[in-house]
Structure 1
């Protein structure tokens, strides 16, 4: 996973997943609320900006560090994403139902998630990219 720099886990019950996250050095944190994960990702983005500042002038784009270009592309993609939360939750639930077809215990959890999920993103706490 050379291209993956950081993993941020967003879950309901942190204690269920805490053990396996210790095996992965790229897991930067587990979060049960959107505000702390948003703050952490914003801090990471600022750090990437600072770390990828080009010190020497380059004569062509071919000489720019690939990680800098990927960071810039990633930021542009995130900014351009048109996110429809209800559709995304529905799509995620449909995908999970297909993956766990026949597993009644998991299907019950998926149904509960699809019915009860409410984002705690309000106008005040929406992430700014």
Structure 2
């Protein structure tokens, strides 16, 4: 909202709490007088004596409001895409050491006692003989 200095002095304290009012710009002939009361009101974005600076301030605030209106969805396919990208990035950053990894796997399986020792030894011997599918 753009108001004149004298009108703003009267009306702004009454309407500043309106939720649909985002910003107030004061256009006046005497900037120093109206800056005193305007600086006490958070929605007053500035006191101006020329049109060009108001237009520039409006353009900046319009861009900010436009950015705030861009919908961001974290449900459905958007979230699935995001998690897939994060997983791919994490997997690509893993530094792989096959020898150490196989050794760790063999040790873990041996401690669990859920896997037959012959199977564990077979994996240890033959793991590098098979091409991984990627």
Question: TM tier, shorter chain?
Answer: 0.3 to 0.5
TM-score (norm 2): 0.41
TM-score (norm 1): 0.42
Rg comparison, structure with higher value: 2
Identify the structure with bigger relative contact order (alpha carbons < 8 Å, sequence gap 6+): 1
